[in-house]
Chains A and B, each alone.
Chain A
Amino acid sequence: MILEQLHQHNNITIYTLNKIVLTQFKNYERETLDFIPEFNVLTGKNGVGKTNVMDAIYYLCMSKSYFGHSDRQISKHGCDFFRLAGDFTQGKKTLKIVAKVKNGSKKEFEKNGRKYDKLADHIGLLPIVFITPDDNSLVRDGSAERRKLLDNTLAQSDAGYLQHLIRYNKLLRQRNAALKKFAETRQVNHALLDTYDQQMAAPAREIFHFRKQMTSQLIPFFQEQYNEISAQAETVGLSYKSALNDNDFPSLIRAAREKDIILQRTTAGIHKDDLVFTIGDYPIKQLASQGQLKTYIIAIKLAQYQVLKSIKKYPPILLLDDIFDKLDNQRVTALVQMLVKRDYGQIFITDTEPGRIRNIIKEKNAMVREIERV
């Protein structure tokens, strides 16, 4: 078991999920799955719910679905309740995490039988990175997806970040509602806008610094990961685009006020930030090949993995869903061999063909467990 030797050698405490029990989660009535600390390959035909198991693992770590499915959508059809239980170990410690979600009541998360007061307190305890074909939206869709990448990474690495973000977003929603109300009553309360602007300034400043720093932490890892999987020497880049790069928040939002009043929403602030992806000197959007794009996106996600690992001092869980989708065999082989070679933690991969992953890594002495779903 080469991974364990590696970890012991580097003095890293690996954390692993040993068992998960799904109750009325998506298509599962009740299912218990056992895992090993190395490679876990979930095989089965399309539509059997492999991705749902991955999302269940993600849910236990992040207290929500990776795909943005609401709790109501997650409950098995016709049920108003679902439950997830995961047995984790970290070094000699055992952690039992339980999620109980019932329609119409507050969702509950427990750690070793103790209920969390706030879900936010759980985020970051069990770092996790999920790579899925859905990640194409990082390039294809609007800036919200890219902010989500930064927010997700920061929320898992710093408890304070989430507090600032929650505060900013609540104030933003109130400010927008106030702007709507002013339009209805045709009366603008400038003093109230002053109040929101002032209250938002401190969290905006914090979020800006966090995001800026995170972007620069991601860049070297991104370059390294990209070169490794693509075997190309191109320079890839990330830059953080924010109006706060050139302005302070109070003057930014002050300058936008007249526009905000007309449009009835807050048009400037860190909720407009973006990440710019480049390759060579060009924006990534101009890339033609699907394979190249895929490699690019996987490299970004692996950079996220490496950043979290360097901050947490232990490797996150890595979920790889359907990587054979649009990636040729050669690229997948390179990727999987890299995952075996380096000190990654526990890995979960889904594949429609049993044995394919095992064939790639057969010469390496790593453990692979295939979990068949029919």
Chain B
Amino acid sequence: MPVKTYIEAVREGLRDEMARDPSVVVLGEDIGVQGGVFRATDGLLAAFGEERVIDTPLAESAIVGVAIGMGLNDLRPVAEIQFADFIHSALDQLMSEAAKMRYRSNGGWHCPLVVRVPYGAGVHGGLYHSQSVEALLCHTPGLKVVAPATPYDAKGLLVAAIRDDDPVVFLEHKKAYRLARGEVPEGEYTVPIGSAVVRRQGRHLTVISYGLMLHYVLEAAERLGREGVEAEVVDLRTLAPLDEATVLASVRKTGKALIVHEDNLTLGLGAEVAARIAQMGFEDLDAPVTRMAAPDVPAMPYAPPMEEFCLPDAARIEAAMRQLAAY
């Protein structure tokens, strides 16, 4: 199987679906001639032409709103928001309109819509080029939110998202784009939305994560494994709807749970996962459910030491795992 980077997998997923289904149209800022700031859409303009690869003005609210309209009228738009930090003016369209369309029309309307969003820190982008925005989105019923960690999942989940009949926000970690490499099959396959996966088997504790952090968690788990502490690692992959069953099954086995994410702590995804474990896995727990996340500061600072301090890394994750395992 060919080994590819995360960004190549995204590009391949887009290209395959556009080739297969003429109703798939991509739009966004600088995605055509430029091939996208991260080059996720490189080559699509040459392959599919201007009608299906649309360079838009700088207008995020309109990009998402127009995509909703296209979806309502039977196209399958894939909109790109250049950086997650720029999605906020489009949240009105996404949260107020897209998320509610099926519900308000008693199933009469629906909008198959994918919004691709590069997110996350670690590239010294500073205040407005580093944000994680998943908590806002996951708090909005009617939206599906996926955050693949591996190239295989990036392609499989993107194809699934495009074929989904409801709005899906597709979060791509910008640091994973070139860092994460892995096997990606040629041709068609999907990874179902709403299913988590156990990436590593273990019996002493469960670590739940997603996106870039998953890689750090796996690194930490390998190191701890050499000391005889075996962590089970769950990759959520889809953040909304949550795959509760996979999480609870793992906690049943290990009795301990740590949730790791890059988004800040308060009311982040970890809070929801922890609450569900506490409520539905209470009998299985041998230790308090713990979380590791970015601190609650208003923005990701630019200066490298401050950014490093904000982001959980393998060493700090390992320390937290060791502490929980020893509880």
Do the two shown chains form a genuine complex with each other?
no
B interface residues with partner A (beta carbon < 8 Å): none
